[in-house]
């Protein structure tokens, strides 16, 4: 890639800042570091030499779980609840968590990816059962409404946005809106309220978690984009469309034009509207990695997880008919073959075709597409300030140019309380989805993300944050970068109900995929329910269903 093309892509996909000559602002003296998930490990599957290694050990287990993220640990929880303990979890990385993995700087733990979980609606009874097991539900009101541990509930203020040089509460940029824009905002919410908790003729909710449990009446919206749906409603206000675009980028790594209209509405409706539901956001300094850590510890209180979790293990071949899984222990340099009655593939679905025999995967190679993400964690000597609304948990810049948009940052130290954070500094987590328009653009953005050095990427992060906090370089103590080449499944039009996900979830011999991506939406709930369904399938195979 030539230098001018490289500069253009960095500027366009990683923040929209100019890469011209450095100005007189003080440069960051901190050395940025790549931390967390290793792209190089995943790319080991490209080496044919793996198949040349002799098998050093053969083992048998009832169930093999490939992947130690949200889906893998949720599957283990379901197996444990059923009394089935003959399972092993194989994890490529040195630590569990997947895209919900946590990290730490000296000041605080922080998320590397997923960082919150909305309290589940009543129909998600299984997820409520999990949260009760983890001690996050501490009691119930007289009507059965759960009471959640207060330290896990996101403290106020939750959100603010930066617009016209000032911080404002909430996320909608109302400053300077016209009467027509205000009317469009009201009409949008009227439409959502008409759909909120609506049911079809058989009593099923139109928008549910997981998404495949949604009633069929409005599934046709999956064939159009969220932008087209807004057009049909006569909703042209750039403010409203920025707000909805932000929601799509935040949850799905997609723009309005790239997101299925069903997926876009699902974001607002599946858990009930924010202004009418009683729920809250659950969050932790380390993000959802702390939730998964609690799940691991819960299992460890009953089982020897040291025997069941094998980190640094690369699955490089699977015989789906005989349930034989070949694994390379990267730390010991040994190859192991494990035979199982059921193999739960809780790793990204697109990788599965690379470990199955040629031609065995019925899913088309381009059936699923994934959004690359750049995440950065910065330790600061002072908490971010600014004119206007107080520092919040989620802090978002309103950028009108779609090509230059980022999601701002989450305050990892938010739960400590404002006074303590101001005195001790802060850790903030910056999020940037690379929402390219087509498969070629995604491939280029992904390749650039993985090829760029830490200095290039950190400069993009700092310039994006300087838009909100001009003095941030002088307050910087440390900067960690996390590159996710395939962070999120993209719910583009036609994905959710077009048949591809049914194929992606269908068993292949003794193998069944169950990670977040086979649910079609990159949400914890999709990983959880996909794992439960796959674990129940595995239990039936081993005679425990």
Domain endpoint, select from 239, 260, 279:
279
517 and 501 part of one domain: yes
pLDDT tens digit at each of 545 positions of the chain: 443 444 434 445 555 443 333 443 454 589 999 999 888 888 888 887 888 899 999 999 999 999 999 999 999 999 999 999 999 999 999 999 999 999 999 999 999 999 999 999 999 999 999 999 999 999 999 988 999 999 999 999 999 999 999 999 999 999 999 999 999 999 999 999 999 988 999 999 999 999 999 999 999 999 999 999 999 999 999 999 999 999 999 999 999 999 999 999 999 999 988 766 678 999 999 999 999 999 999 999 999 999 999 999 999 999 999 999 999 999 999 999 999 999 999 999 999 999 999 999 999 999 999 999 999 999 999 999 899 999 999 999 999 999 889 999 999 999 986 555 556 799 999 999 998 878 899 999 999 999 999 999 999 999 999 999 999 999 999 999 999 999 999 999 999 999 999 999 999 999 999 999 999 999 999 999 999 999 999 999 999 76
Domain containing 480 — which CATH number? 3.90.660
Decide if 137 is inside a domain: no
Tokens of 411: 């305050």
424 and 510 part of one domain: no
User: End-to-end distance of the chain based on CA atoms, in angstroms?
Assistant: 54
Domain endpoint, select from 231, 252, 279:
279
164 and 218 part of one domain: yes
Q: Tell me how many domains the chain contains.
A: 3
Decide if 221 is inside a domain: yes
Q: What is the per-residue pLDDT across 112-165, written as a single tens digit (0 to 9) for each?
A: 999 999 999 999 999 999 999 999 999 999 988 999 999 999 999 999 999 999
179 and 262 part of one domain: yes
Q: What is the per-residue pLDDT across 387-399, written as a single tens digit (0 to 9) for each?
A: 999 999 999 999 9
Domain containing 537 — which CATH number? 3.50.50.60
Spell out the alpha helix ranges (H) of 409-523.
418-424, 439-451, 454-466, 500-505
391 and 336 part of one domain: no
Decide if 188 is inside a domain: yes
375 and 427 part of one domain: yes
Q: Determine the Cα–Cα distance for residues 310 and 470; give it in Å rounded to an integer.
A: 45
Name the E strands within 141-224.
146-148, 159-163, 166-169
295 and 441 part of one domain: no
Query: What is the residue range of 416's domain?
Result: 3-30+370-489
User: Between vectors from CA 43 to CA 484 and to CA 431, what angle results, nearest 5°?
Assistant: 5
377 and 478 part of one domain: yes
Residue 199 C-alpha from the chain's centroid:
28
Prediction pTM value? 0.94
What one-character-per-residue DSSP string does 13-49 give? HTT----SS--SSPPP-S--EE-S--HHHHGGGG-GG
Tokens of 55: 């098998």
186 and 224 part of one domain: yes
């Amino acid at each position: 890639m030539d230098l001018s093309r490289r500069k253009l892509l960095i500027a366009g996909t990683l923040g929209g800042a100019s890469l011209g000559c450095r100005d007189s602002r003080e440069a960051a003296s901190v050395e940025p570091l790549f931390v967390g998930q290793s792209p190089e490990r995943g790319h080991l599957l490209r080496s044919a030499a793996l198949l040349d290694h002799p098998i050093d050990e053969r083992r048998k287990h009832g169930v093999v779980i490939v992947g130690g993220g949200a889906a893998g640990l949720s599957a283990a929880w379901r197996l444990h609840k059923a009394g089935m303990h003959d399972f092993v979890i194989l994890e490529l990385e040195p630590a569990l968590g997947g895209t919900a993995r946590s990290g730490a700087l000296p000041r605080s733990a922080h998320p590397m990816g997923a960082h919150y979980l909305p309290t589940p609606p009543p129909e998600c009874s299984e997820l409520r059962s999990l949260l009760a097991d983890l001690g996050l539900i501490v009691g119930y009101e007289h009507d059965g409404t759960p009471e959640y541990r207060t330290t896990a509930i996101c403290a106020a203020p939750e959100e603010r946005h930066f617009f016209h040089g000032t911080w404002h509460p909430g996320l909608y940029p109302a400053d300077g809106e016209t009467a027509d824009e205000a009317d469009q905002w009201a009409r949008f919410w009227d439409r959502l309220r008409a759909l909120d908790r609506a049911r079809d003729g058989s009593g099923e909710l139109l928008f549910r978690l997981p998404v495949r449990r949604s009633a069929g009446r409005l599934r046709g919206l999956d064939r159009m984009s969220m932008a087209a749906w807004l057009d049909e409603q006569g909703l042209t206000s750039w403010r409203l469309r920025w707000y909805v675009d932000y929601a799509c980028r935040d949850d799905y790594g997609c723009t309005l034009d790239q997101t299925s209209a069903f997926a876009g509405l699902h974001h607002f409706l599946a858990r009930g509207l924010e202004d009418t539901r009683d729920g809250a956001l659950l969050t932790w300094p380390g993000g959802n990695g702390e939730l998964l850590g609690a799940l691991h510890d819960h299992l460890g209180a009953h089982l020897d997880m040291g025997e069941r979790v094998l980190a640094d293990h690369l699955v490089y071949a699977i015989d789906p008919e005989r349930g034989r899984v070949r694994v390379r222990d990267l730390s010991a340099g040994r190859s192991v073959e494990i035979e199982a009655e059921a193999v739960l593939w809780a790793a990204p679905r697109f990788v599965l075709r690379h470990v199955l025999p040629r031609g065995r995967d019925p899913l088309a190679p381009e059936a699923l597409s994934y959004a690359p993400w750049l995440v950065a964690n910065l330790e600061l000597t002072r908490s971010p300030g600014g004119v206007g609304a107080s520092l919040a948990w989620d802090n978002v810049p309103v950028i009108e140019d779609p090509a230059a948009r980022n999601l701002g940052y989450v305050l990892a130290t938010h739960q400590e309380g404002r006074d303590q954070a101001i005195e001790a500094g802060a850790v903030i987590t910056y999020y940037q989805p690379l929402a390219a328009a087509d498969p070629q653009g995604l491939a280029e953005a992904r390749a650039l993300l993985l090829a760029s050095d830490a200095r290039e990427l950190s400069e993009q992060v700092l310039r994006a944050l300087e838009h909100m906090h001009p003095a941030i370089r002088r307050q910087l103590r440390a900067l960690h970068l996390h590159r996710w080449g395939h962070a999120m499944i993209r719910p583009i039009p036609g994905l959710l109900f077009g048949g591809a996900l049914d194929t992606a979830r269908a068993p292949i011999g003794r193998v069944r995929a169950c990670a977040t991506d086979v649910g079609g939406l990159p949400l914890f709930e999709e990983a959880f329910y996909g794992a439960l369904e796959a674990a129940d399938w595995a239990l039936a195979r081993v005679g425990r269903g």
